[in-house]
Amino acid sequence: MIELIVGSAILLAGLYFAWWWRSPQFRERIERPKHEFLRQAQEFDDAGRRP
């Protein structure tokens, strides 16, 4: 019985996590740094190439 409860809890937690990860709010928040970084890196390069 205990295995069933723990197993179900893990499964539900996994499903919730999957939904959370796919949710736009989460993705926007968690993936934001990669866009921010790319912008910073390109700004740096562009500044370096300015005449």
Partner 1 sequence: MTVARTSPVLVHADLVRAHTIAALAALAIAAAFGILVSLQFLYPDLSGGSLVFGWGRLRYAHTQGIMLGWLGNAFLAFMYHAVPVLTRREVTSRALGWWLFGLWNFVAVIPGWILVLSGVSQPLEWAEFPLAIDAFIVLALLLAAVQFLPGFFRAGLDSLYVSGWYILGALVFTLLAYPMGNVVPEVTGGATSAAFSGLWIHDAVGLFVTPLALAILYYVIPAASGRPIYSHFLSMLGFWGLFFFYPLNGTHHYVFSVIPMAAQLGAIAASAVLGLIVVIVVTNLLLSLRGSGFIPRDPALRFVALSVVFYLIVSLQGAAQAQMAVNQSVHFSDWVVGHSHLAMLGFATFAGIGGLVHAWQRLPDARYDGRAIEWSFWLLSVGVTVMVVDLTIAGLVQGGLWQQAVPWLDSVRASRPYWAVRSLSALPIVAGFVLLGVGLFTGRRGAGAQAIKATRGPGEVQPVAPATRARGLAMAYVVTGVAGVGFFALSMCLLGWWPGKVIATQVAATSPPNLLQLTPDEQRGRLIYAREGCAYCHTQQVRYLPDDIRRFGAPTLAWEIQFDRPHLWGTRRIGPDLSREGGTRSLDWQYAHLFAPRSVVPQSVMPSYAAFFDGSPLQPTAEARDLVAYLQSLGRARELAGPEGEQHAQGALGHDHMAHMAFESPVLNAHPAAPRAGGERPSLARVASIGNGPQLWRENCAGCHGAGGAGDGPAAAWLTPRPGDLTAHSYQRDYLERVLWEGRQGTAMPAWRDQPPASLVALMAAVRRFSVDAATVPDGATLQRGAVIYANHCVQCHGTSGRGDGFAASSFKVAPVDFTVRRPTLAQGMSAMVNGVPGTSMAPWGDRLDDVQMRAVVEYVRNLFREAGGD
Chain positions contacting partner 1, by CB under 8 A: 21, 27-45, 47-49
CB of 5 to partner 1, least distance (A): 26
User: Which lies closer to partner 1 via its Cβ, residue 8 or residue 39?
Assistant: 39
Q: Give the up-direction half-sphere exposure of residue 46: CA atoms within 13 A in the CB hemisphere.
A: 6
User: Which lies closer to partner 1 via its Cβ, residue 8 or residue 17?
Assistant: 17
Host H or E run for residue 11: helix 2-22
Alpha carbon distance 12, 23 (integer Å) = 16
CB of 20 to partner 1, least distance (A): 10
Read off the tokens for 9.
């809890």
